[in-house]
Amino acid sequence: MEAQEREPVAAGDTILRTDGLVRKFGEFTATDHVDLEIERGEFRSIIGPNGAGKTTLFNLISGALPVTDGTIYFDGEDITGLSPQQRVRRGIGRSFQISNVFGGLSVRENVRLAAQSVHRDEYNIVESLFKTTDKYERMNERTDRILERVGLDDIAEEEADVLAYGDRRRLEIGVVLATDPDLVLFDEPTAGMSVEETQGTIDLIEDVLVDQTLMLIEHDIELVMELSDNITVLNRGEILAEGTPEEVANNQAVQDAYLGGMVE
């Protein structure tokens, strides 16, 4: 596969917009009136101290949690009331904080399940019950293509549980890719990795998901500065700052939040 470059961001083409997003847990406000606007093709990182509401924000966007208040627009349409699976079908893919593939299934089955979800409408219910999976050409072609793309075609028949850590990551990314997303949410994909592994994972994401809009939660500030088109800084559920890596790095409020925000 040829190396492709990410396209520059097309200004004015918003893929995701949130409007006054609020999520409360009891009295605790995890997400407090968050307004986001993500451009198509953008690489956006979300940073902030622990408990800032980053994962909650992803949960709201992916539909894992219902919102308390506010609206989410994807491709210009209100998706606030949609279930997680409906959002996946519209093109919001999600990779989990903890690698979360189907351990008891083979690598191929994992990817094929995702591909099958995309090609779901190509067969009727009776067919889906009685025609064996190997008879679906488009689905299997897609599976093969993706296995090759993420470099797992050699070990496609291995059970996911026995994969090495790095290969599990590849599989996870392959599975997300197979759902044909336009926007992918990555929640700390490099947590617990060595420096080399981190670089390898980021390279893979950049390499494989060239056509997708990416949102990334990441603790490694250096990495974030290097990769992102834009950065959103969350603190206590609110947007503290937003802008290019340079703008954010020079923002006084951000420095305070990381250095002295909690302790006067």
Partner 1 sequence: MSADPLLTVDGVNAGYGETKVLHDLSLEIHEGEIVSLVGRNGAGKTTTLRTIMGIIQPTAGTVGYRGEDVSEVDATETVQRGISFVPEERRIFPELTVMENLEIAHIGGGDDADAMSIEEALGMFENLQDRTENHGSSLSGGEQQMLSIARALVGGADVILLDEPTEGLAPYIVQDVMDIIEELNDRGITVLLVEQNVHVGLALADRNYVINQGEIVWEGTSAELEADEEILDTYLGVTA
Partner 2 sequence: MVAGVIQQLLDGLTLGVVYVLLAAGLSVIFGVMHVINFAHGELFALGAYFALALIAPFGGTAFFAALIVAPLIVGVIGVAIERYTVQPLYGRNPLYHILLTFGLVLVINDLIYLIWGPGASSLARPDVISGTVSVLGLGVGVYNVFIIVAGSLMAFGVWASLEYTRYGLIIRAGSQDRQMVRNLGINIDRYYSLVFGMGAALAAFAGIILAGTRQVNPEMGMSVIIPAFVIVVLGGLGSFKGAVAGGLLVGILQESILRPYFPFLEGMVIFLLMIGILLIRPQGLFGTEAPEDESGDLLTGSRGGFLDPQTRNRLGLAMILLLALVPLGAGTLYSTFIVTLMIEILIWGLFALSLDFIMGYTGLVSLGHALFYGLGAYVVAITIQDVTQSVIVAVALAIVISAAIAWFVGFLSIRVAGVYFAMITLAFAELFYNAIYRLDTIELFGEEREVTGGSEGIFGLDPFYGIAGIGVDLDSIGIFVGTTVLTGQLLFYYVALAALVVGFLLTRRMLQSPFGSVLKSIRENEQRATFLGYDTVVYKRRAFVISGALAGLSGGLYTLFTGRVFPDNAEWMVSGEVIVMVILGGMGTLYGPIIGSFTFFSLEHVLTGYTDRWRLVLGSIFVLFVIFLPRGLVSVPELLAPYLPGGPGPGPQTEPAPEDSSTGGGD
Tell me which of 9, 118, 191, 210 binds partner 1, using CB under 8 A. 191
Tell me which of 2, 104, 137, 252 binds partner 2, using CB under 8 A. 104
- How far is the CA of 93 from the CAs of 14, 37, 89, in angstroms? 17, 17, 9
Which part of the chain contacts partner 1 (CB under 8 A), choosing from 4-12, 31-39, 131-139, 219-227?
Answer: 219-227
* Residues in 157-176 that interact with partner 2 by CB under 8 A: 157-159, 161, 175
Decide if residue 103 touches partner 2 (CB under 8 A): yes
Q: How many CB atoms lie within 10 A of CB 216?
A: 26
Q: Which is nearer to partner 1, 211 or 226 (CB)?
A: 226
Which residues 6+ apart lie within 8 Å of 50 measured at CB?
none
**Strand-pair category, 230-235 with 238-243:** antiparallel
Question: What is the three-class DSSP state of 90?
Answer: helix
Q: How many CB atoms lie within 10 A of CB 257?
A: 20
Tell me which of 2, 27, 121, 196 binds partner 1, using CB under 8 A. 27
Q: Measured between alpha carbons, how far is 151 from 208 in angstroms, rounded to an integer?
A: 10
Decide if residue 138 touches partner 2 (CB under 8 A): no
Which part of the chain contacts partner 2 (CB under 8 A), choosing from 35-43, 49-57, 69-77, 86-94?
Answer: 86-94
Q: Which is nearer to partner 2, 3 or 126 (CB)?
A: 126
Q: Distance from CA of residue 230 to its chain's centroid?
A: 16
Which of partner 1, partner 2, none does 186 bind, CB closer than 5 to 8 A by kind? none
